[in-house]
Chain A
């Protein structure tokens, strides 16, 4: 909501906002169908790539490295977005109101992600004789069942969180378009919401409960990703900070994705009055903070290995940092750290629409490259020879003559990356026409708490803080 300092700023009423958002929600125009078709085509291409991989089978694990990298990128960007909304809600930041529904709608991508997890788990070798957090639990089932359960719970809780927070808006849709198919769906989903005090109390309790669980379980998901798909396949890889690094990078990706999606909604969806300078400026600060933390967490891991100088550690540094995957690391360094630092340090860049968006695009690109480095590398490590256990305190060279070289993507890999991202966006676009992408009730609530007052020589926004 833009302000002109010389005139009294106007605060729209919540009825105005509600009708505006509802109008955008109702209107499914050509532009929308063009986007959906494009994404569907790209997703289909991704499915083709996936089928090619299926035909290659699961014997050669290195075929699945890029697939797992895509899966991890999706889980780390899209599924981290509800964490952003939960965190901002916890901090009671008023500027969050227009963008929370956008981040929560992203929880729908969890459905695609969970199904994508299944082949990834098949591609992993059994934990017998191998390092794992499952500590000799029944081998074939433990990590497969455990992962499916944890990821599934995260996805489900994300969906419940989304549903709970969407109830008032679903009721509005039900009331506004009762005859249309979407209205009928909304009637079922809105669970008879009428907006009385008891229902609001239940909503807030539900948000607290689901939000807290999501905040607790999402780091667990990242821990399992790092432990099972990365560290467990790299001999001698003992990196306690890796799950925390993955979490911080996921949050960076989520903030970047939020910025990029807000920009797209402004440009193509006409949502300029909701995703304004306040939102971009406010999100640019966590983006800068997470970019600095990107380097900080990476350094913590690197410096420990570097000083340790044990053969296993030096081999891993050669593999992941200095030699085989040096190029991806340089790209991530530039796009996830140097670029954001140099750009976002300047307030004029932060306080603009373009600045944080461009940085966000760079961050997403760098994040994808980083996930490729994290997961293609371990998947390209060979199995130990027959009869030998996976070595614990050994080096990559224990059962190979040399450190594996960097693995470039094949056609199928590229199709999977493009298709995976397109599939996630496709689901997002579809859900936006079931649940409005801007939360009418939250923005409305915010507007009710805001008044404009004359303050000394100017005007100020007075924001009520309720407990």
Chain B
């Protein structure tokens, strides 16, 4: 069971949001619909295969696949990894220009126009959640109309990472109190696209939200908890029905 996340220091938790995500690894099939949805929603550049071999691919969420066991008992383990929006984020204190900081909604945000590209934040992220624009991103002509106008198009030299679709959060919570935003009324693109509903998104400050209720699940854990980063994203362990 995961340790409880520290609650925010605001006296009345019902006055603020604390966005969080729960990913159920038992339901995840590794289909990568979340990756595509994120790319479409957030103007992430198209990654050709050379981007992967050169290590320059930009992925705000990626599905890591590990092989376990020997033939014929091989298992594939999938884990979608995105920015964990750590409460004790190691990427935040090392940015010289304050391009990344923790906002009042419990998100770790990246401000593209402040970023000078020193890449220290990328070094310090133990989850490899951050991507750097090594090249100027170029979209094929046909895809340029598909760019989301709510999201900045980043240039070369800038770090980027999952923002929990902060543009959707802003759009759905502008001028509203937490009570006025029902749980599940909107989701980030990855959560929305997931065909098996492996991902859940919601406000941790709302004790009735799905994410709050899942915090005490017996399968729950945080990635690399021993590092003291206090990630907000929570995972639910896969259940193996045929032995360990």
A and B, direct touch (CB closer than 8 Å): yes
Interface residues of A (CB under 8 A from B): 307-311, 313-314, 393
Q: Complex formed: what's the CA distance from A313 to B93 in Å?
A: 17
Interface residues contributed by chain B, number (CB under 8 Å): 7
* Cross-chain pair count, CB within 8 angstroms: 14
Asked if A314 and B93 sit within 8 Å, CB to CB, the answer is no
Return chain A residues, CB-CB under 8 Å to B229. 309
Q: Complex formed: what's the CA distance from A313 to B88 in Å?
A: 14
Asked if A311 and B93 sit within 8 Å, CB to CB, the answer is no
Interface residues of B (CB under 8 A from A): 88, 90, 93, 226-229
Asked if B88 and A309 sit within 8 Å, CB to CB, the answer is yes
For the complex with contacts A311-B228, A314-B228, 10 further pairs of A-B residues with Cβ separation under 8 Å are A307-B93, A308-B228, A309-B88, A309-B90, A309-B228, A309-B229, A310-B226, A310-B227, A311-B226, A393-B226
Sample (14) of A-B pairs whose CB atoms are under 8 Å apart: A307-B93, A308-B228, A309-B88, A309-B90, A309-B228, A309-B229, A310-B226, A310-B227, A310-B228, A311-B226, A311-B228, A313-B228, A314-B228, A393-B226
> What is the distance, in angstroms, from A194's C-beta to the closest C-beta of chain B?
68
Q: Complex formed: what's the CA distance from A311 to B224 in Å?
A: 12
Return chain A residues, CB-CB under 8 Å to B227. 310
Q: Complex formed: what's the CA distance from A307 to B88 in Å?
A: 10
Q: Complex formed: what's the CA distance from A314 to B93 in Å?
A: 17
Which residue from chain B places its CB closest to the CB of A310 in the assembled complex? B228
Q: Complex formed: what's the CA distance from A50 to B93 in Å?
A: 50
Q: Complex formed: what's the CA distance from A310 to B228 in Å?
A: 4
Which residue from chain A places its CB closest to the CB of B89 in the assembled complex? A309
Return chain B residues, CB-CB under 8 Å to A313. 228
> What is the distance, in angstroms, from A237's C-beta to the closest C-beta of chain B?
15
Return chain B residues, CB-CB under 8 Å to A311. 226, 228
Return chain A residues, CB-CB under 8 Å to B226. 310-311, 393
Which residue from chain A places its CB closest to the CB of B227 in the assembled complex? A310
Return chain A residues, CB-CB under 8 Å to B88. 309
> What is the distance, in angstroms, from B15's C-beta to the closest C-beta of chain A?
28
Q: Complex formed: what's the CA distance from A310 to B126 in Å?
A: 12
Q: Complex formed: what's the CA distance from A393 to B229 in Å?
A: 15
> What is the distance, in angstroms, from A397's C-beta to the closest C-beta of chain B?
12
> What is the distance, in angstroms, from B33's C-beta to the closest C-beta of chain A?
35
Q: Complex formed: what's the CA distance from A430 to B94 in Å?
A: 58
4 smallest beta-carbon distances between A and B, as pairs: A310-B228, A309-B228, A311-B228, A309-B88
Return chain B residues, CB-CB under 8 Å to A393. 226
Return chain B residues, CB-CB under 8 Å to A307. 93
Q: Complex formed: what's the CA distance from A225 to B198 in Å?
A: 53
Q: Complex formed: what's the CA distance from A313 to B227 in Å?
A: 10
Return chain A residues, CB-CB under 8 Å to B90. 309
Q: Which of B93, B227, B228 has the most CB of A within 10 A?
A: B228
Q: Which of A311, A313, A314, A393 has the most CB of B within 10 A?
A: A311
> What is the distance, in angstroms, from B3's C-beta to the closest C-beta of chain A?
10
> What is the distance, in angstroms, from B84's C-beta to the closest C-beta of chain A?
15
Which residue from chain B places its CB closest to the CB of A311 in the assembled complex? B228
> What is the distance, in angstroms, from B125's C-beta to the closest C-beta of chain A?
14
Q: Which of B90, B93, B226 has the most CB of A within 10 A?
A: B226
Q: Complex formed: what's the CA distance from A314 to B226 in Å?
A: 12
Q: Complex formed: what's the CA distance from A307 to B228 in Å?
A: 11
Which residue from chain A places its CB closest to the CB of B88 in the assembled complex? A309
> What is the distance, in angstroms, from A161's C-beta to the closest C-beta of chain B?
48
> What is the distance, in angstroms, from A389's C-beta to the closest C-beta of chain B?
16
Q: Complex formed: what's the CA distance from A433 to B144 in Å?
A: 94
Return chain B residues, CB-CB under 8 Å to A308. 228
Q: Complex formed: what's the CA distance from A309 to B227 in Å?
A: 8
Which residue from chain B places its CB closest to the CB of A308 in the assembled complex? B228
Q: Which of A307, A308, A309, A311 has the most CB of B within 10 A?
A: A309
> What is the distance, in angstroms, from A53's C-beta to the closest C-beta of chain B?
38
Which residue from chain B places its CB closest to the CB of A314 in the assembled complex? B228
> What is the distance, in angstroms, from B122's C-beta to the closest C-beta of chain A?
17
> What is the distance, in angstroms, from B161's C-beta to the closest C-beta of chain A?
20
Q: Complex formed: what's the CA distance from A326 to B65 in Å?
A: 48
Which residue from chain B places its CB closest to the CB of A309 in the assembled complex? B228
Which residue from chain A places its CB closest to the CB of B229 in the assembled complex? A309
> What is the distance, in angstroms, from B78's C-beta to the closest C-beta of chain A?
27
> What is the distance, in angstroms, from A395's C-beta to the closest C-beta of chain B?
9
Q: Complex formed: what's the CA distance from A314 to B228 in Å?
A: 9
Q: Complex formed: what's the CA distance from A428 to B88 in Å?
A: 54
Return chain B residues, CB-CB under 8 Å to A310. 226-228
Q: Complex formed: what's the CA distance from A112 to B90 in Å?
A: 49
Q: Complex formed: what's the CA distance from A311 to B88 in Å?
A: 11
Q: Complex formed: what's the CA distance from A307 to B227 in Å?
A: 11
Q: Complex formed: what's the CA distance from A308 to B93 in Å?
A: 11
Which residue from chain A places its CB closest to the CB of B94 in the assembled complex? A307
